[in-house]
């Protein structure tokens, strides 16, 4: 799709609608002449160049990429109206779009019933899930693995509940024996499992944890902020297919968080929280005199901790889902390409003399490190840092990576040839979340081999 054409169509469509309300003179206090705007815009555009090329496959670092053009056009068109999805009368159209898009997310996870809404972020969405968890188990703590997102510990403090980190196994997934020992203390009301950890994309054993829920009467919350859309690859044919069990188990869990602003092609400002039992909505009750009702239906502001939220975010997600729905044949195809890219690169790294794979990718995150001489952690850390910098500094053929710090124990258990002379080291990490990475990993690999040899 031609972005330039559709951006113009956005303005035209807005003018068509707005024109129906009659002309009025714009107030001079807000007037800006084109020459002044041109000057400010030039400076602005220049300053924005201080950025990394998130759109390009040579950017293989953090979880960053631009939104799909359909999301950009959807967001912009709705933003010209600027609806507020805190209530139905803040923008009836985008409130309805939010309901429909959230329904599509619920269907994707296999929820038969749900209560849910969009949030401004995964962190806020997790806060909502943990808030409901605390209301249901006010005296009990919340368990999450040491690989869980760091904001879970922070949000437990916000909520005034005890957070209990649980150790992980060698693959970076919650150790269920350790969890069960903790559950036996009867101090835990809710367990958070991560479907796709932020660091390495590890999928925690949700299906096995479900048995513990019955035994110990806890809630299970799934943090699928990063990995959620990978459920579209569960049981798929081909190398990109993922084991079904943990993904199918999500439909049995009590709440789910997914970030459309990560793998859902959306701009920032789009997380989502879903509850399996719609009756948890009563925990949000308020009687604000400002939020009035124009509908009998439960409105979105009634089931959200946040008040103002961009209706444009819902519009962007809705429009994107019209074209690339959250189904295996829709958005699933984009995730499959990134997953195949990760598998292919991991294979190349395993065959390399200059690079070593840190952990086999479960989703689309590849972790690796340069082979150094001597094979000490201090040398490894220094080499990873050097490659990160040298990759970005090369003006002819730059590559943009990220690093991840791993403790000495984990590194040396996993890679016994490494000698621990410090308490940890950085390894390299590439999130291949753009489908275009599939056609680019051989180039990335050659560049990485050159950088590792240098
Ligand atoms: C990104 C992420 C979060 C935080 O989400 P934000 O949208 O960045 O606030 C939480 N959990 C996991 C697993 C994540 O990957």
CATH code where residue 242 lies: 3.40.640.10
Spacing, Cα 128 to ligand 1 middle (Å)? 13
Based on the fold, state whether residues 303 and 343 are members of the same structural domain: no
Based on the fold, state whether residues 278 and 303 are members of the same structural domain: yes
Q: Is residue 81 part of a domain?
A: yes
Domain boundary among 296, 323, 350: 323
Instruction: State residue 449's pLDDT score.
Output: 97
Extract the tokens encoding 178: 């350790």
Nearest CA to ligand 1 atom 6: 122
Q: 85: buried, middle or exposed (CB in 10 Å: 19+, 13-18, 0-12)? A: buried
Using the CB atoms, write b or e for 129-167: b if 16+ within 10 Å.
bbbbbbeebeebbbbbbebbbebbeebbeebebebbbbe
CATH number of the domain that residue 445 is part of? 3.90.1150.170
Instruction: State residue 279's pLDDT score.
Output: 87
Q: Is residue 33 part of a domain?
A: no
Spacing, Cα 270 to ligand 1 middle (Å)? 11
Angle at 133 between CA 132 and CA 138, to 5 degrees: 105
Q: Is residue 42 part of a domain?
A: no
Instruction: State residue 290's pLDDT score.
Output: 54
Instruction: State residue 302's pLDDT score.
Output: 72
Instruction: Compute how many other C-beta atoms are within 10 angstroms of the C-beta atom of residue 349.
Output: 22
Based on the fold, state whether residues 424 and 302 are members of the same structural domain: no
Q: Is residue 274 part of a domain?
A: yes
Spacing, Cα 195 to ligand 1 middle (Å)? 11
Based on the fold, state whether residues 305 and 208 are members of the same structural domain: yes
Report d(CA 106, CA 255) in Å as an integer: 10
Ligand 1 first shell, C-beta below 6 A: 121-123, 126, 149, 151, 194, 198, 223, 225-226, 259, 271
Q: Give residues with Cβ within 8 angstroms of 225, minimum separation 6.
A: 122, 125, 126, 149, 196, 198, 257, 258, 259, 262, 271
- Which of 151, 225, 433 has most ligand 1 atoms within 8 Å of CB, for mutation? 225
Instruction: State residue 292's pLDDT score.
Output: 45
Digit-coded pLDDT (tens) for 329-366: 999 999 999 999 999 999 999 999 999 999 999 999 99
Based on the fold, state whether residues 300 and 383 are members of the same structural domain: no
Instruction: State residue 297's pLDDT score.
Output: 57
Atom of ligand 1 nearest to the CA of 198: 15
Provide DSSP, 78-99.
HHTT--BTTSGGG-HHHHHHHH
Q: Is residue 18 part of a domain?
A: no
Instruction: State residue 294's pLDDT score.
Output: 41
Query: In the 8-state DSSP scheme, what is residue 169?
Result: -
Based on the fold, state whether residues 315 and 365 are members of the same structural domain: no
Based on the fold, state whether residues 219 and 152 are members of the same structural domain: yes
- Which of 226, 229, 269, 363 has most ligand 1 atoms within 8 Å of CB, for mutation? 226
Based on the fold, state whether residues 100 and 163 are members of the same structural domain: yes
Q: Is residue 159 part of a domain?
A: yes
Spacing, Cα 262 to ligand 1 middle (Å)? 9
Extract the tokens encoding 31: 């007037």
Report d(CA 287, CA 127) in Å as an integer: 21
Q: Is residue 38 part of a domain?
A: no
Contact 125, 225 (CB under 8 A): yes
- Helix, coil or strand: residue 401: coil
Residues of the chain with confidence (pLDDT) below 70: 286-300
Based on the fold, state whether residues 198 and 307 are members of the same structural domain: yes
Extract the tokens encoding 106: 């619920």
Atom of ligand 1 nearest to the CA of 271: 7
Based on the fold, state whether residues 247 and 375 are members of the same structural domain: no
Domain boundary among 270, 292, 323: 323
Based on the fold, state whether residues 308 and 386 are members of the same structural domain: no
Nearest CA to ligand 1 atom 5: 122
Long-range contacts of range 248-251, CB-CB < 8 Å, 24 or more positions apart? 248/110, 248/207, 249/206, 249/207, 249/209, 249/210, 250/109, 250/110, 250/195, 250/206, 250/222, 250/224, 251/109, 251/110, 251/111, 251/112
Spacing, Cα 147 to ligand 1 middle (Å)? 12
Q: Three-state secondary structure along 268-337?
A: CCCEEEEECCHHHHHHHCCCCCCCCCCCCCCCHHHHCCCCCCEHHHHHHHHHHHHHCCCCCCCHHHHHHH
Instruction: State residue 109's pLDDT score.
Output: 98
What is the total count of domains within the chain?
A: 2
Strands of the sheet containing 365-370, edge to edge, are: 355-359, 365-370, 424-431, 402-407
Domain range holding 404?
Answer: 332-453
Spacing, Cα 258 to ligand 1 middle (Å)? 8
Domain boundary among 294, 323, 352: 323
Digit-coded pLDDT (tens) for 242-300: 999 999 999 999 999 999 999 999 999 999 999 999 888 888 876 655 554 444 456 66
- Which of 123, 257, 266, 270 has most ligand 1 atoms within 8 Å of CB, for mutation? 123
- Which of 118, 149, 250, 272 has most ligand 1 atoms within 8 Å of CB, for mutation? 149
Spacing, Cα 226 to ligand 1 middle (Å)? 6
Q: Is residue 26 part of a domain?
A: no
- Helix, coil or strand: residue 267: coil
Spacing, Cα 78 to ligand 1 middle (Å)? 25
Spacing, Cα 267 to ligand 1 middle (Å)? 14
What is the pTM (predicted TM-score) of this model? 0.96
Based on the fold, state whether residues 367 and 286 are members of the same structural domain: no
């Amino acid at each position: 799709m031609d972005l330039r054409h559709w951006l113009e169509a956005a303005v035209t469509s807005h003018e068509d609608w707005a024109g129906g309300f009659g002309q009025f003179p714009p107030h001079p206090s807000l007037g800006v002449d084109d020459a002044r705007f041109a000057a400010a815009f030039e400076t602005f555009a220049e300053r924005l160049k201080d950025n990394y090329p998130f759109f390009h496959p040579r950017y293989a670092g953090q979880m960053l990429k631009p939104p799909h053009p359909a999301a950009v056009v959807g967001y912009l068109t709705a933003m010209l109206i600027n609806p507020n999805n805190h209530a139905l009368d803040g923008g009836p159209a985008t409130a309805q779009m939010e309901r429909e898009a959230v329904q599509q997310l619920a269907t994707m996870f296999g929820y038969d019933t749900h209560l849910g809404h969009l949030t401004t972020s995964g962190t806020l969405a997790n806060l909502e899930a943990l808030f409901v968890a605390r209301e249901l188990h006010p005296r009990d703590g919340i368990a999450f693995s040491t690989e869980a997102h760091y904001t879970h510990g922070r949000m437990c403090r916000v909520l005034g509940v005890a957070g209990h980190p649980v150790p992980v196994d060698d693959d970076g997934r919650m150790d269920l024996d350790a969890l069960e020992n903790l559950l036996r203390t009867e101090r835990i009301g809710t367990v958070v499992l991560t479907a796709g950890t932020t660091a390495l994309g590890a999928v925690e054993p949700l299906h096995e944890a479900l048995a513990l829920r019955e035994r110990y009467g806890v809630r299970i919350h799934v943090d699928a902020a990063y990995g959620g859309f990978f459920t579209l690859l569960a049981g798929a044919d081909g190398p990109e297919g993922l084991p079904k069990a943990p993904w199918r188990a999500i439909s049995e869990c009590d709440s789910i968080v997914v970030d459309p602003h990560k793998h859902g092609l959306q701009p920032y400002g789009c997380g989502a929280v879903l509850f399996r039992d719609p009756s948890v909505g009563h925990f949000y009750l308020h009687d604000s005199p400002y939020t009035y009702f124009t509908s009998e239906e439960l409105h979105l502001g009634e089931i959200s901790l946040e008040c103002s939220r961009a209706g444009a975010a819902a519009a962007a997600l809705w429009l994107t889902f019209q074209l690339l729905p959250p189904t295996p044949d829709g958005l699933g195809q984009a995730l499959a390409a990134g997953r195949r890219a990760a598998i292919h690169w991991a294979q190349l790294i395993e065959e390399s003399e200059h690079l070593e794979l840190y952990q086999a990718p479960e989703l689309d995150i590849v972790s690796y490190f340069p082979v150094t001489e001597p094979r000490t952690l201090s040398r490894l850390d220094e080499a990873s840092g050097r490659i990160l910098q040298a990759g970005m500094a090369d003006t002819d053929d730059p590559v943009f990576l990220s690093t991840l710090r791993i403790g000495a124990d984990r590194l040396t258990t996993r890679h016994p040839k490494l000698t621990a002379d410090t308490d940890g080291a950085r390894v390299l990490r590439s999130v291949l979340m753009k489908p275009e990475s599939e056609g680019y990993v051989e180039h990335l690999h050659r560049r990485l081999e050159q950088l590792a040899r240098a």
